[in-house]
Each structure stands twice: as C-alpha cells, then as structure tokens.
Amino acid sequence: MRIHRLEIQAFGPFAERQHVDFDALTEQGLFLLNGPTGAGKSSVLDAVCYALYGSVPGARQTAKRLRSDHAPENLMPEVVCEFSAGSRRLEVTRNPAWQRPAKRGKGTTPEQAKTLLRERVEGEWITRSTRNDEAGAELQALLGMNREQFTRVVMLPQGEFAAFLRADAATRAELLQRLFATDRFSTVEQLLADYAASAAAGREKAEGELDAVLARATEEVRRHGLEDDECEDVPGEGGTAENQTGQPNLIILQDRLMSAVQRGRERVADLKVLRDASVEKRSRLEGERRDRTGYQRLLAETESNRKNLLVAAELQKAIENHRRAQVLEGPLQARDQCGEELRLREDSLRSAVTRLRRNELADREVPELTELLSDERLEGLETAYRRIREELAATLAAQPQERELAALHTRIAGAERKVEEHASDAWRCAGTREELEAELAAGTTDLHAAETASARAVGLTSECEEVTGRLALHSKAETAEQSLEHLEDLHRTHTGLFLEAKEHWLEKLRLRLEQAAAELAAGLREGDPCPVCGGEEHPEPATIGDHALVSREEEERARTDQEHAEQRLRETSKARDAAALEAAGLRARVGSLDPEDARETLRGLQQELAETELSASRLPALSAKKLELERRLTELEARRQELVRSEARESSLIAALREQAAALTLRVDAVRAGYSSVEERVAALRQVEEGIGAVCSAISRRDHAQESFATAETALQTRLADSGFVRDQAVRDALLPHGRAAEAERTIREAESTAHRIELELQRPENLSAAALDREGHAVPRIEDIDAAARSEEDALTKLERAVLDVGLLEQSVVQLASYADRVKILEERLEPLRRAHQLAKSVADTARGNGENLYKMSLATYVLAARLEQVADAATERLQQMSDGRYALVHSDAKSGNKKSGLGLHVTDNWTGTSRDTATLSGGESFMASLALALGLADVVQQESGGLDIETLFVDEGFGSLDEQSLEQVMDALENLRDGGRVVGLVSHVPELKQRIPAQLLVLKGRTGSTLRFVDQLQRV
C-alpha cells in the first residue's frame, strides 16, 4: 500500500485546504514530518487513518468532533487520500459529521458523515461506493488490516511500544490479541470450559436422580416403620440397610418388605374369622327382634282395621243412593240454570228501560217512546230504532258540509286581514321612497367631488416620488464621498505597511543567501564529501560572520508577511477605485440640487396629497352607496305594485267566498234541526239509537230465556216420576259433594285390602314362629344386646380393614421398590460414561486454561500469542542487532515469574556479556532502539499475518532525541534499509540532526488562523 496524495480541509488544526504530494515528498524514500508542538503533526497521520478507516487512532477517537475550529462556519470538513494497493489505484473522500449553518433562519443543522470511494480504471475515475459501511468494508478487505493493526504497522507509535517493552504479561496479551485477532482461541477456552461445566452438570444431574431414587426407596420402607432394630430377630434380615458407599441396600429393603407383607396376610386371615362370628350373632339377634315386633304390630293393626270395616259398610249404602240421584243431576242442573238465566234477562231489561226513560233527547226524537216502553212491544220499538238510524245516517252525511262552512269563514277572515296588511305596506313603501330619493341626490353630489380629488392625487404622487428620488441620490452621493475619504486613508496606511514588509523580507533574503555557505559548512564532517564541490577535505569552511544565523523559517515568515501586506494593499486599491467611480456617478445624477428647498417642496406636496387621498378614499364607498340606493328604489317600486295587485285579488276572493258560505248555511241549518251544530245532533241521535237498541235486544233475550225455562221444568218433572224420588230436594240430599264419593270408595277398598293383607302376613313362617314364641312366653331380644353385638362386629371389621389396607400398602411398596431397583440399575449404567466424559472434559478445559497438568500454566490463547510474540522477537532482533552493532537481541521467554502464569515474557540478550536481562534495565537510547526494532518486527509479522500485502509507506513516531550520535547513525542506517524495494519511510521528530540529514521535509506551521503544511526540499534550496 502506497500513499500518493493527501488533501485536508477544515480538519483538526487545518482551516484552509492543504495539499500534500506524497509522490514528490517520497522521491528519496525518506522524509521528515516536523513542526512545533501543537502544530498538527499527529493530525496529518489522523487524516490518513480517517480517510482509510473513517476514524482516528487512540484516545482522539473519543473527541466529540473532528472539524477545525479555525475554519469558516460554512466550510465543510473533508479528507481526500489517493493511494495504490497492489495493481489498483483508489481515491477515498470522507466528510466527518459536523454542524452546518441552517439555510433558513439562525442556528445549525447536523450534517451526517459522508464517504466517496473511487478507482482509476484506464485513465478515468469510476465511483465504487458512496456508503460509509460499504466503502469501509471494501477498504479493509483491500488493505487486509483493521484500524488497530494499521496504526501499529503503518504508523509506528514508539511511545506505546516502549510501554509494551516494559509491560506485564496481561498488558502485552491485550495488545497482541487486538493485533492478531486471537479471540477465537479464547473462545475455544471458553467453549471447553462450558463443555466441562455442561458435562459436570449432566453428571450431577444423573447422580442427583440416583440419590433421589434411593432416598425414595428408603423412605418407602421407613414409612412402614421398618427400621434396622425392628428386623434384628427376623431370619434373613440381619445387617445394615446401607452398602459400602453409604447408599441404601435395595435387596435388604426388599426382604424387609416381603416379611412384613407375609405377617400382614396372616393377621388378615385371623381377623376375618373374628368378623364372621360377630356378624352371625348380630344378624341372629336383629332377625328375632324384627320378627317378634312385626307380629305384635300385625295384631294391633288387625284390631284397628275391624273398626274401619264397620264404617265401610255405612259408606256403601250412601254410595248406592248417590248413584241413583246422579241420573237426575243433569235435568235438575239444567232447570236451575234456565231459571237463573231468566232472572238475569229480566234485570237487564229493566235497566235498559230505566236508562232510556231518563234520556230527554229520546222523547224529543221519538215522541211515542213512552207508550212503546209501557207496552214493551218489540215491533214498535224496532220501527222507531230503524227511523233513528236513518236520521243518524243523514246527519252524518251533513258533517263535511258543516266543516266546509267553517273553513269558508276562516278563509274569508284571512283574506280580509291580508287586504288590510297590503294597504298598510303600500302606505309605508310610499314614505320610504321619498326618503331614498333625497338620500340619492345628496350622494351623487359627494361622488362627483371624490372623483375630482382622485384624479388630482395621481399627479401629486408623481411629483412627490420625483422629489424623493433626487433627495435619496443626494444622500447616497454624500455617503459615497465619506467612504472614499476613509479608503484613501486606509490605502496610504497599507502602502506604508507593504513597503516596510517588503524591505524586511529583502533584508532577510540577503542575509540568508550570504549565510548559505556557512550553513552547509556547519553540517560538514571530516571525510564526508562536500555537497557543493565534492571534496572530502574542508580546510577553510565558511563562517556565519557578525550577523546572527537567519533560518529558512524566518525568511519564509518574512516573505509570507510581505505577501499578506501586498494582498491587503491590492484589495484596498480595488475598493478605493470602486468607491471613487460610484461617488462620481452619483454626484453627476444629483446636479445642483438644494436639499432644503427640495425638502420644503416635498412637505407641501405630501400635505396636499394626504388631503386629496383622504377625499379620494371615499370614492369606492360613495359609488357603492349610489348603486345600493338605486337598487333599493327599484325594488321598492316593484314591491308597491305587487301589493296593489295582491289587494285586488284578495277582494275578489272575499266576495266569492261569501256567496258560497250563504248557500251552504241554508243546507246545514236544515240538518241541525234546532241543535247548535250537526255534531251535537249526531251525538244525540247516537245516544237515542244505543238506548232503543239496548231495550230491543233485552226484550228479545228475555223472551228466549222464558221459553228455555219452561222446557227444562217439564223434562225434570217427567224424570222425577220415574226415579222414585218424590221431590227435587230429595235428589239434592242424596247427591254426595264433589270428590266425596271417590273418597268413600277409596276408604272401602283400603279397609278390605288391609284385612286381606293382614291375613296373609299372619300365615308367613316368621310370624307363625313369633306366634309360637309368644305362646311359649319367650322374651323379645333387647336393643342393648343388639347394639353390643353390632359394636363387636364394627370393631372386628375396623381391624380387618386396617389390616387389609396395611397389607395393600406393603404390597404397593414392594412393587414400587422393584421399580426403584430397575430405575437404579438404569441410572448406574448411564452415570458411568457421564463420569468418564466429565473427567476428560475437565482435564482438557483445565489444561487449555493453564491449570491441571499444564506444567507451564499457560492458557491456549496465551500459547498462541506466545508463538506470535516469538515471531515478533525474531523479526525485531534482526533490526536491533543492526542498530546495536550486533550487541542486543530480543528473546521470548515462557518461564514463570513467581506464582504468575508464563507465556509472554520478553528479555534482551547482551551478546557482549552473554547474559539475558529484563528489558526494563535498558537505558533510554537502548530502549528506543529496542522499541523501534520491536515496532518494525511487529509490522513485519502483522503484514505477513494479513496476507502479505506490501506496505510501501511507513510512519515512525518520536523518540530519536534519546540517541547518541553513533546510535542515531545506526538507527538511520536501519531505517535506510527499510527503503529497499521502493518503501517510503516518514519520520516524526523534533531532533535538529534529522533536519540536517533528511532533505525532504513536510513542515507543519501553526498560526492564529490555523495550521498550514509546506513541502521543503533542502537540496533544491542549496
């Protein structure tokens, strides 16, 4: 990888855009990057790293921003790096995130980081990517190194490698792990440890399951109370219940359970015999008492049923009379119902006649009604009913005519009101018209005056604008002349400053040229060829003289000051000429204007214009008002004419309606027949109609009820003569109440059934036996004897059930213990390979972590890093021996230090004494050489590890000031060897000797407005 070009803008301390041509800088293969402290030497390296990786190395990456504080606020920060890798040539442009000024309003807007990656193909730049992540991934794949490796391989930080040289094993491991990416070996260690822990967990889980099964087996025996001391006298059950490992012995536990089961079964058999005897005794006593008490109950029931049989005989006679009377029950009920119906109909007729007599309207409509009601003649009442219905129908037909007459009167009243309203509105319209006509005449006069003022305002406005424009030109002319006077003074000042700066620079340049030979002579060494004549002898080297030595930096600063003064003078001259041209033009346009007269004229015109505009401002309102008055007059006239026409129409309508109302009134009065309205007469006729109709209906129903009663009475008398009953009351007495007959029959059946049942039960064997015992005088068994027998039976049953339950639990425990034994066998077979696997995994994991049988106590990751460190030490020794005349060599050590683990030790071997010692014992210069050799060796190893990419550009950081002249010469020889094969080496140093030895230099100059970069070639100067 070779860097060709670098551009920096608004980045770090660099405000303006800086260009660095690395191709020109590295023509000699070795260049020096120098400058004062804080100027920005590290920022150049940061820019290279940021361009390639999008971040800066070390702690500077944690800074909040990378943009320069010296740059203008709208200048975008940017880094451009052109480089080649292998056969490819690429250019990467990166813009860090920054706060740009807002386009609208005040404040700032965040601008995200941007990346542009281009590649030069056949002479043209082709865009490869514009995404940050995509470009970063492609660049890292192309370089073959991450940022951490790049900053250790390409940018060699001597201070960090000096610390690495003296660091302990943990610190070295941290750096080496980042550089060589050996995390995977630490991952392997963790995986092995995790596998060992997993194997241990599997073994512990299986052992836990085994212990749990054995504990359950022991508990299964102990819950039956079968302890060791209880089985000492049982044959075959001696010894302890635990084996040599302390675990329960399942065989002994099973033997104990089987013995307990056998004893339980024998006890169950004995309890069954006792239970059967108790059951037989209790059953015999209960049976005898039940039979004896049952026989006595039958005897009592027989005596009680004898009375029931006597009552049943009397009930049988009453039922026979009831059945004969049931034949006459229907005709009797029919005659009674007809009589009740006749009474109700007669009451209804009397009520209807009373209501009709009380109706005064009925006599008015039917004069003969009183006579008809007295005779109760149905034919006459029906005739009057039909006549009333006909008159009601005629009256109902006249109801619409009455409603029509009322509507006519309502319309006439409404029309009369409208005529009055139209007349009143017409009178108001006439008065309003006179007012509007007077207002229109006054508005027309005001409108003409406003139109005249508006025309005058236009002319006044033009005159005011003309006077105002001339006054503004006069003011600009005065301002331009004042600015011109100021620029003339400034031009004279800048001219003097420029002449002083130019004289100062020419003096510095003269002294610099005069002292060039003395400066070259100061760098000559005996035996070295002169860069001017080539001679190796220097008998009379030039001297500086009386004046102090003028450095190139001083001469450059003087020349820069002269250039800046010249630039300010040019800018001032340009501004002065522009101001003079502008002032002359403005004065020509103003002419001989008197400002005071012009202002007085302007004030008069503006006052007149204000008055005119005030009058003209009323023009739109007056025009609109005139149009509105004319519109209202037109609408008012149309309204008046419409009112006249409406009044004529309403008058004609009133006359027609009155004629219709008169004709209709004659017809309606005839129908009313003296009533106040047709509706009133309809209500009266309806009442009369309903009353006569009710009387007619009541007479008809009463006549029908009389006929039914006569028929029912005849039928009843006929049936009485054939039944044997003399009067109807005898029939009613013979009839039993509802449900009484059924109840009597049920009583008879129950008495007869009970007598038959008792007779059959007395013939049963147990009752015959009880009768015999009664006759023999045996006592009935007592309740106390039966209870005592029951308690004996219950006690025997309880003991038997408990014994059976105990045997069942023991048998279940035998089965459970057998399953536990099978489970223990399976678990023991599975546990053995788990124990072997755990032992193997633990041994391997301990060895990988530096424990166990690992004699060096070195972990796997440390072992890999130790191999890398050994390679680094070998590569560093090649450089260190060249720098130290073959005296020193760096040696990797895997020896332990006290109780600490081994693997990352580093010693230095002194070939002059043949001894090895700790690197901390090296002097400052020796430490620098060792650190530089270590950095170069590490760069070689990392380069090989990254795929062998050729690193053609290297940067070596500070540290040369600690070397003596001879050591510096040796180190420079070693660095010169790095240039073999076209490699370019850049040194970052303040050492004056290096400034003399290295002609190609990149100077970093700092100032109040930011730092700048300048390429200096000492050979070209000479």
DSSP 367-402: TTHHHHHHHT-HHHHHHHHHHHHHHHHHHHHTHHHH
Measured CA to CA, the distance from residue 814 to residue 793 in angstroms comes to 31
User: Taking 90 as the threshold, does the pLDDT of residue 384 lie above it?
Assistant: no
Helix (H, G, I), strand (E, B) or coil at 548: coil
User: Taking 90 as the threshold, does the pLDDT of residue 115 lie above it?
Assistant: yes
pLDDT for residue 245 = 52
**Which residues have CB under 8 Å from 330's CB, separation 6+?**
none
Measured CA to CA, the distance from residue 304 to residue 757 in angstroms comes to 14
Per-residue DSSP letters for 598-643? Answer: HHHHHHHHHHHHHHHHHHHTTHHHHHHHHHHHHHHHHHHHHHHHHH
Measured CA to CA, the distance from residue 653 to residue 408 in angstroms comes to 11
Beta strands 18-21 and 2-9, pairing class: antiparallel
Give residue 235's pLDDT band: very low, low, confident or very high (50, 70, 90): very low
Task: For CA atoms 561, 567, 570, 575, give the dihedral sign.
Answer: negative
User: How does pLDDT run across 883-897, given as a tens digit for each residue?
Assistant: 777 888 888 777 665
**Which residues have CB under 8 Å from 720's CB, separation 6+?**
328, 726, 727, 728, 731
Measured CA to CA, the distance from residue 766 to residue 291 in angstroms comes to 6
Nearest to 240 by CA among 215, 211, 248: 248
C-beta of residue 817 within 8 angstroms of C-beta of residue 825: no
What is the average per-residue pLDDT within 730-735? 70
What is the average per-residue pLDDT within 399-407? 75
Q: Which of 267-281, 448-462, 716-730, 995-1009 is least confident?
A: 716-730
C-beta of residue 320 within 8 angstroms of C-beta of residue 336: no
Give residue 329's pLDDT band: very low, low, confident or very high (50, 70, 90): low
User: Taking 90 as the threshold, does the pLDDT of residue 19 lie above it?
Assistant: yes
What is the average per-residue pLDDT within 353-379? 67
Parse the chain into domains and list their residue ranges. Answer: 2-144+956-1017, 294-378+698-776, 379-525+550-640
| The pair of three-digit structure tokens given for residue 431, joined into one six-digit string | 């008065």
Beta bridge partners of 111: 98
User: Taking 70 as the threshold, does the pLDDT of residue 569 lie above it?
Assistant: yes
Nearest to 887 by CA among 949, 837, 826, 929: 929
What is the average per-residue pLDDT within 910-922? 80
**DSSP H or E stretch at residue 906:** strand 905-910
Supply the mean pLDDT for the chain.
77
Beta bridge partners of 900: 897
User: Taking 60 as the threshold, does the pLDDT of residue 472 lie above it?
Assistant: yes
Greatest Cα pair distance in the chain: 196
Measured CA to CA, the distance from residue 458 to residue 605 in angstroms comes to 12
User: Taking 70 as the threshold, does the pLDDT of residue 10 lie above it?
Assistant: yes
Task: Determine the CATH number of domain 2-144+956-1017.
Answer: 3.40.50.300
Nearest to 690 by CA among 269, 345, 268, 392: 392
Q: Which of 47-61, 156-170, 486-500, 672-686 is least confident?
A: 156-170
What is each CA distance from 684 to 192, 362, 384, in whole angstroms?
A: 121, 8, 15
- Of 669 and 56, the structure prediction assigns the larger pLDDT to 56
pLDDT for residue 79 = 95
Measured CA to CA, the distance from residue 1013 to residue 998 in angstroms comes to 17
Q: What is the CA radius of gyration of the chain?
A: 70
Per-residue DSSP letters for 266-277? Answer: HHHHHHHHHHHH
Measured CA to CA, the distance from residue 463 to residue 979 in angstroms comes to 86
Burial of 728 (0-12, 13-18, 19+ CB in 10 A): middle
Q: How many secondary structure helices (H) and strands (E) does the chain include? A: 26, 17
Alpha carbon dihedral 505, 508, 509, 514, in 10-degree steps, equals 160
User: How does pLDDT run across 125-178, given as a tens digit for each residue?
Assistant: 999 899 988 998 888 888 777 787 777 767 756 556 666 666 676 776 766 766
Measured CA to CA, the distance from residue 332 to residue 733 in angstroms comes to 13
Measured CA to CA, the distance from residue 318 to residue 745 in angstroms comes to 10
| The pair of three-digit structure tokens given for residue 739, joined into one six-digit string | 């449900």
User: Taking 90 as the threshold, does the pLDDT of residue 118 lie above it?
Assistant: yes
- Contacts for 348-355 with beta carbons within 8 Å, 24 or more apart? 348/698, 348/701, 348/702, 349/695, 349/698, 349/699, 349/701, 349/702, 351/698, 352/691, 352/694, 352/695, 352/697, 352/698, 353/695, 353/698, 355/691, 355/694
What is the average per-residue pLDDT within 71-81? 91
pLDDT for residue 229 = 42
Q: Which of 29-38, 406-415, 734-743 is least confident?
A: 734-743
b/e 595-609 (16+ beta carbons within 10 angstroms → b)? eeebeeebeebeeeb
User: Taking 90 as the threshold, does the pLDDT of residue 116 lie above it?
Assistant: yes
Using the structure block, give the residue that is written with the tokens 């070397």: 963
Nearest to 864 by CA among 184, 191, 164, 163: 184
Question: Within 13 Å, how many C-alpha atoms sit on residue 209's CB side?
Answer: 16
For the sheet containing 2-9, what is the strand order?
18-21, 2-9, 78-85, 88-95, 114-121, 124-129
User: Taking 80 as the threshold, does the pLDDT of residue 563 lie above it?
Assistant: yes
Burial of 53 (0-12, 13-18, 19+ CB in 10 A): buried
Burial of 547 (0-12, 13-18, 19+ CB in 10 A): exposed
What is the average per-residue pLDDT within 962-986? 67
Q: At what angle do helices 399-514 and 619-672 cross, to 10 degrees?
A: 160
- Of 444 and 965, the structure prediction assigns the larger pLDDT to 444
Q: Which of 159-173, 431-445, 665-679 is least confident?
A: 159-173
Per-residue DSSP letters for 684-752? Answer: HHHHHHHHHHHHHHHHHHHHHHHHHHHHHHHHHHHHHHHHS-SSHHHHHHHSPPTTHHHHHHHHHHHHH
User: Taking 90 as the threshold, does the pLDDT of residue 281 lie above it?
Assistant: no
**DSSP H or E stretch at residue 98:** strand 98-101
Other Cβ atoms within 10 Å of 123 Cβ, number:
5
pTM of the model: 0.40
C-beta of residue 662 within 8 angstroms of C-beta of residue 368: no
Give residue 592's pLDDT band: very low, low, confident or very high (50, 70, 90): low
Give residue 120's pLDDT band: very low, low, confident or very high (50, 70, 90): very high
What is the average per-residue pLDDT within 361-386? 66
Burial of 834 (0-12, 13-18, 19+ CB in 10 A): middle
**DSSP H or E stretch at residue 918:** strand 915-918
